[in-house]
């Protein structure tokens, strides 16, 4: 497929960073790992991938700002275009030799009236060679295949994904999660926790999951995935139903197909209100 200039840059950067990540993944036992916090690791592979992505994206678009997981925000507040980058989403999977991790790149655009929109997205899983990508108004794709969210209507047939709170997650998120899980489990075909938010959202876009929810995730975890779900015909909002174009910090996300997003969002909204 003929890619737009932005998408060609994003996919090229992801593929270049992935080559080094795959080499590191093959030697994961030799990686030196420093601890950022309980259950939240950063590896040399993570930092090297971020450096490659910054260099490639900056070379192609030198005036664009950045929001990156490891190095934070750069480029000032008066940006028109901004990259939101997670060089290695699913770091814990990576460090345990589990081939379920991804490079996530989102592109935001600030309009003249000050509003912000998600313009383009890439979520690339090098271990499976699956390139999920989307552009606003163009659609969502897996490699060269057009994506659509699932068409399931009944909760008892549905498969949902989530992120289970772990050590670094504040206790205020644990009770709402437990309430959603307890209400949802008796109604559905299954709930999965695979450990990479960007891929969870990409899999909703691909129809593999029927919905997804998670509390307190970062912009780089979800920016690209939110656009993928929307461009595949689904909904991706906060529990109040607000679309997350600006992608605030520590956001609560609910995504799903057109039939099941509403019931899932209602459960999440009630659980948060009760807490």
Domain boundaries, the chain: 5-146, 155-274
Is the Cβ–Cβ distance between 245 and 115 less than 8 Å? yes
> Is pLDDT of 230 > 90?
yes
- β-strand pairing of 33-37 with 40-43: antiparallel
Instruction: Consult the annotation and say whether 210 binds a ligand.
Output: no
Helices (H), 162-260: 171-184, 197-205, 219-231
> Is pLDDT of 38 > 60?
no
Residues 6 or more apart whose Cβ sits within 8 Å of residue 133: 7, 10, 11, 120, 121, 122, 123, 140, 141, 228
pLDDT band at 224 (very low <50, low <70, confident <90, very high): very high
pTM: 0.94
pLDDT band at 164 (very low <50, low <70, confident <90, very high): confident
Instruction: Consult the annotation and say whether 181 binds a ligand.
Output: no
Q: What percent of the chain has pLDDT over 70?
A: 95
pLDDT at 29: 75
pLDDT at 231: 98
Cα separation of 227 and 196, whole Å? Answer: 16
pLDDT at 177: 87
Instruction: Consult the annotation and say whether 221 binds a ligand.
Output: yes
155-274 domain in CATH 3.90.1300.10? no
pLDDT at 256: 98
Name the packing angle between helices 5-26 and 44-60 (round to 10°).
Answer: 160
Instruction: Consult the annotation and say whether 69 binds a ligand.
Output: yes
Q: Please, how many CA atoms are within 13 Å of residue 50, restricted to the half-sphere of its CB? A: 21
Mean pLDDT of the chain: 93
The CA dihedral of 89, 99, 2, 69, to the nearest 10 degrees, is 10
User: Which CATH architecture does the domain made up of 5-146 adopt?
Assistant: 2-Layer Sandwich (3.30)
List pLDDT tens digits, range 17-31: 999 999 999 998 777
């Amino acid at each position: 497929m003929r890619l737009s200039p932005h998408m060609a840059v994003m996919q090229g950067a992801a593929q270049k960073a992935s080559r080094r990540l795959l080499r590191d993944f093959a030697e994961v036992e030799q990686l030196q790992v420093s601890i950022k916090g309980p259950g939240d690791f950063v590896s040399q592979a993570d930092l090297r991938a971020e450096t490659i992505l910054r260099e490639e994206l900056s070379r192609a678009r030198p005036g664009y700002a950045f929001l990156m997981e490891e190095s934070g925000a750069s480029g000032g507040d008066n940006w028109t275009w901004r990259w939101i980058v997670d060089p290695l989403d699913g770091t814990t999977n990576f460090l345990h030799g589990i081939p379920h991790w991804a490079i996530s790149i989102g592109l935001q655009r600030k309009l003249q009236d000050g509003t912000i929109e998600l313009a383009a997205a890439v979520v690339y899983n090098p271990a499976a060679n699956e390139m999920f990508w989307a552009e606003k108004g163009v659609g969502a794709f897996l490699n060269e295949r057009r994506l659509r969210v699932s068409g399931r209507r009944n909760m008892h047939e549905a498969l949902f994904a989530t992120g289970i709170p772990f050590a670094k997650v504040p206790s205020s998120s644990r009770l709402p999660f437990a309430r959603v899980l307890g209400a949802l489990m008796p109604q559905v075909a299954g709930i999965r926790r695979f450990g990479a938010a960007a891929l969870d959202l990409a899999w909703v876009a691909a129809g593999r999951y029927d919905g997804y929810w998670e509390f307190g995730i970062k912009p780089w975890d979800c920016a690209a995935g939110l656009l993928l779900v929307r461009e595949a015909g689904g909904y991706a909002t906060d529990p109040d139903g607000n679309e997350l174009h600006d992608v605030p910090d520590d956001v609560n996300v609910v995504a799903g197909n057109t039939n099941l997003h509403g019931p899932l969002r209602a459960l999440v909204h009630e659980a948060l209100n009760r807490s």
